[in-house]
Structure 1
Amino acid sequence: MLVMQLRYMFSVLLFLQGVTSENVLIWFAEGSHWINLKSVIEELIERGHNVTVAVHSSSPYVNYSEPHPFTFEVFEVPFAREEFRDILDDFVEFSIYEKPHNLLDVVGLRLREIVAAGTEFNRQTCDGVIKNRKLLQKLKAAKFKVLLSDPISPCGDLLAMKLGIPFIFTLRFSLGSSMERYCGQLPAPPSYVPVVMSGFSDKMTFTERLKNILYMHLCSVVNDWIWHGWDVYYSEVLGKPTTFCETMGKAEIWLIRTYWDFEFPRPLLPNFVFVGGLHCRPAKPLSQELEEFVQSSGEHGIVIFSLGSLVKNLTAEKANMIAEALGEIPQKVVWSYAGEQPKTLASNTMLYKWLPQNDLLGHPKTRVFITHGGTNGIYEAIYHGVPMIGIPLFADQPDNMAHMKAKGAAVVLSFVTLNKHDLVNAINTVINDTSYKENVLKLSQIQRDQPMSPLERAVFWIEFVMRHGGAQHLRPEAHSLSWYQYHCLDVIAFLFICLVIILFVLKKCCMFCCRKCRGTRVKKNKTE
């Protein structure tokens, strides 16, 4: 009760601080990234702010045609929605079935082709707003106080620079954390901070530390290749020499969508704020049909199975194998699957094209969550205290599940080598071994035991930037240092030169003294 009262008081104080209605501009993002942005948008509107979302006309996930409590500013792009969706589908299909097994595979020719195509779409999207003078004038006239952007969709920072307003990033990760490290100057000692997508924990062996350093530099090389074209583009738009990373580094606040229940302890900067789980909500009642199915599970409970919104289909062989495995467990199964119904589907399994995932995870009969390892799903499982079985597919998912495995809250399986025996064993292990439930409940307690909710914290910092016109006092001076100054290489070189000079002088002095002593002895011997 005391905790609830404190949270209420914080909410009242935050509301009073942010009571002035301001104009907020959102740079769109796709897929699960849009889910996080929508949570922030809804809270901003609840606090009385006017929100405008800039989105291109071919967005496959942002439905701007339906009524919303916020304004959409739609701009045209020279490609169709189907073309953009094909690029996303190519990336997903490549990642699942051609399967880059580790970071060394990201330089493969096929992936480079996909990345190059995606970059071209992103550049055309930027052109759609940056080179649209009428739209820029309209946005300037709106006098926005801040822009919120997910850097997974480039150009938000560039738009903010053109409009002359401060901007904030919200992100889960970048390849090898390169954006955070090089653009945000976030310290990341490779001795105990695992590179994103390495799959390592903070307790690394010598070999893992060696690989971690190599991965870090490999990611830097890959990002340099990706960013090079953006450096030229950003310089042209801003009319002065600049770089993609330099512009990103001007972000006032970085809202990182994880928290200490997920992350391993590591150094942070004052303008980096953890807001993991900002989309999590208490569970709502299920539909009558779904509730009846869940209740029919009896004491065994239910298993929730979802591979995310991007995976619409599986091969018939893989789908039949999974359905057969699920039919061998005593629990009822709710499976989010839009593909053709598997021939081996058992009576204990129900297929749904869409699931109220958060509400199911919050149901008392839920025993385990089989997931692809997306951050949103993991945080919903943590919030509701549900242990997991991870079948990661691509991007940050293997790394996410490596974190949950290290914290004792999940069993991880390989999608490529997945078979019926492994899946059944994993389900039985997670359900029957109480340590998994105990560990995820500990993470849930950590997630909930905060002075303000992650969503309140995210909105607080957005309003803070609006109230103060930025947060420059939180940005480290590292942004104005060159790479050799940042690593003190100039100081080390100076001290080394000083040391060499001192040693040289000492050597000369010693040689002089030796010659004097030798000359004195020779003169004395001659005299004798």
Structure 2
Amino acid sequence: MTHLLSEVATVFVNDFSVVTYLLLQYVFGALSGNVLVVPGEYSHWLNMRAMLEELVNRNHSVTVLVNSASPTVDYTRPERFHFEVFQVPFSKCQLHGISEELIRFWIYNASDASVMEIASKVIEVTSQATPLQMQACDAMLRDKELQDKLRRGGFHVLLSDPMIQCGDLLAESLGIPLIYSLRFSFGYTIERFCGQLPVPASYVPAAPGQYSDQMTFVERLTNVLMYAFHTSFFYIHSVVNWNRYYSDFLGRPTTVCDIMGKADVWLIRTYWDFEYPRPLLPNFQFVGGLHCQPAKPLPSDIEEFVQSSGDAGIVVVSFGTLIPNLTREKGNVVASALGQIPQKVGAGLLTKLNHFQNSYYICYYISVTSVHICERLKEQVMSNRR
């Protein structure tokens, strides 16, 4: 009898363990989500990628929908999230070339150019990029097989960058909530007209701009004119190029801002206290630092470099993804300025700029995907510094 009771108790405990395990699996499964991502390019992707890594850490399933000509998103690289690649009828070089043209103009010519010259260049580059964007939208939205696959995927939310068109249309087509990740748009046009965010032109400097929130009368007047320019360009670009596209796809009269304005949450990639004072809406959330990574132990050579800096410490300079367009002459100007401070300088560089004349320290840089991490720091003591 005692033996029988022992067997019954063992079976009960085993069954209870199985039931408990299944219940826990159900609970943890309910806490995880299925996220579809339409990423941006360049630094937009770098910021978003860190967010996706954290989503995976929290047991969410992440699928990145990327076109085959993406100049930044390396979908062949092993990742903890999944890539869904759709084919587009243009090359990576075409897309990257348009971006490079605008960047080069902005770095070398914009400071000396008139307002009309800047406007002309922006319109020229936009007219080149828009057809490619529309082709990418067609490849993503009008591929029935891809759409059916996405519907079967059971996604709970779509995360997108509003600087890339048609992520909002995809969320509308799939009938799922939309979340935007954004730093700012030019003149805050997307935030103002699509997100309904109040931005008083007399008090908030137009982005990107050089003014502070303490402007003179002339600066305020110039700021208002900048808003007028960005607003005019946004409306012309939207009405001429995209409103008809959105209406044709949905089969009803609509506008870009009608669809973008349905975004449930706008994640602004900066800190609230770094921004200019202005009214905010409840669905605009400042998430500065969300894209940052936890600190990791320094490699031995970098640790030695840091420890040798003494009381003055070090200054770490990161030039971002624009550094390939920095000439050696401009690099030397930056390095000369850095050479005047007492701190040691570790500068994160890309491509061919392996050293700065008159610089004290250099950092060799290898890949765009590790933009915040220097591969190696090496001391160069210049004779004129002694």
Given the two structures, how large is their TM-score scaled by the length of structure 2?
0.82
Query: Paired residue for 1:253?
Result: 265
Query: Paired residue for 2:36?
Result: 25
Q: For 1:367-516, what aligned pairs fall within 5 Å after superposition? A: none
Query: Paired residue for 2:11?
Result: none
Contact 1:323 1:342 (8 Å CA) reproduced: no
Q: Does 1:71 align with 2:82?
A: yes
Identify which range, 132-141 or 317-326, moves more after superposition: 317-326
Q: Does 1:297 align with 2:309?
A: yes
Gaps of 5+ in 1: 1-15, 361-423, 425-528
Query: Paired residue for 1:201?
Result: 212
Q: Offset at 1:202?
A: 2.3
Query: Paired residue for 2:357?
Result: 344
Q: For 1:148-227, what aligned pairs fall within 5 Å after superposition? A: 148-227=159-238
Q: 1: distance between equivalents of 2:290 and 2:114? A: 29
Q: For 1:351-366, what aligned pairs fall within 5 Å after superposition? A: 351-354=363-366
Q: Offset at 1:107?
A: 4.9
Q: Offset at 1:85?
A: 1.5
2:155 maps to which of 144, 158, 163? 144
Which amino acid is 1:128 matched to? Answer: A
Contact 1:102 1:197 (8 Å CA) reproduced: no
Q: Secondary structure at the match of 1:312?
A: helix
Query: Paired residue for 1:39?
Result: 50
Identify which range, 272-281 or 126-135, moves more after superposition: 272-281
Contact 2:320 2:371 (8 Å CA) reproduced: no
2:274 maps to which of 240, 245, 262? 262
2:102 maps to which of 71, 88, 91? 91
Contact 1:284 1:359 (8 Å CA) reproduced: no
Q: 1: distance between equivalents of 2:262 and 2:117? A: 28
Q: Offset at 1:135?
A: 0.2
Q: Offset at 1:131?
A: 1.6
Query: Paired residue for 2:377?
Result: none
1:463-496 Cα shifts (integer Å, max 9, x gaps) = xxxxxxxxxxxxxxxxxxxxxxxxxxxxxxxxxx
Q: 2: distance between equivalents of 1:207 and 1:77? A: 47
Q: Offset at 1:156?
A: 0.3
Q: 2: distance between equivalents of 1:114 and 1:306? A: 27
Aligned CA distance change for structure 1 residues 279 and 85 (closer, same or farther; 3 Å): same
Q: Offset at 1:183?
A: 0.8
Q: Offset at 1:106?
A: 7.2
2:334 maps to which of 308, 314, 322? 322
Query: Paired residue for 1:112?
Result: 123
Q: 2: distance between equivalents of 1:102 and 1:265? A: 31
Q: Offset at 1:102?
A: 9.0
Given the two structures, how large is their TM-score scaled by the length of structure 1?
0.61
Q: 1: distance between equivalents of 2:117 and 2:34? A: 40
Q: Offset at 1:103?
A: 9.6
Contact 2:64 2:81 (8 Å CA) reproduced: yes
1:53 maps to which of 41, 54, 64? 64
Q: Secondary structure at the match of 1:261?
A: helix
Q: Does 1:125 align with 2:132?
A: no
Q: Secondary structure at the match of 1:186?
A: coil
The structure whose RCO (Cα within 8 Å, separation 6+) is larger is: 1
- Between Structure 1 and Structure 2, whose CA radius of gyration is higher? 1
Aligned CA distance change for structure 1 residues 172 and 333 (closer, same or farther; 3 Å): same
Aligned length: 345
Aligned CA distance change for structure 1 residues 46 and 325 (closer, same or farther; 3 Å): closer
Q: Secondary structure at the match of 1:36?
A: helix
Aligned CA distance change for structure 1 residues 23 and 282 (closer, same or farther; 3 Å): closer
1:145-184 Cα shifts (integer Å, max 9, x gaps) = 1111111111100111111212111111111111111111
1:376-409 Cα shifts (integer Å, max 9, x gaps) = xxxxxxxxxxxxxxxxxxxxxxxxxxxxxxxxxx
Q: 2: distance between equivalents of 1:249 and 1:84? A: 27
Q: Offset at 1:20?
A: 2.5
Contact 1:151 1:171 (8 Å CA) reproduced: yes
| Percentage identity across paired residues of the two chains | 48
Query: Paired residue for 1:511?
Result: none
Aligned CA distance change for structure 1 residues 322 and 216 (closer, same or farther; 3 Å): closer
Identify which range, 301-310 or 24-33, moves more after superposition: 301-310
Query: Paired residue for 2:284?
Result: 272
Q: Offset at 1:25?
A: 0.6
Q: Offset at 1:232?
A: 1.1
Q: Secondary structure at the match of 1:227?
A: helix
Contact 2:71 2:96 (8 Å CA) reproduced: yes
Query: Paired residue for 2:345?
Result: 333
CA RMSD of aligned residues (A): 2.5
Contact 2:189 2:234 (8 Å CA) reproduced: yes
Q: 1: distance between equivalents of 2:209 and 2:358? A: 36
Q: Secondary structure at the match of 2:363?
A: strand
Aligned CA distance change for structure 1 residues 103 and 170 (closer, same or farther; 3 Å): farther
Q: 2: distance between equivalents of 1:328 and 1:21? A: 52
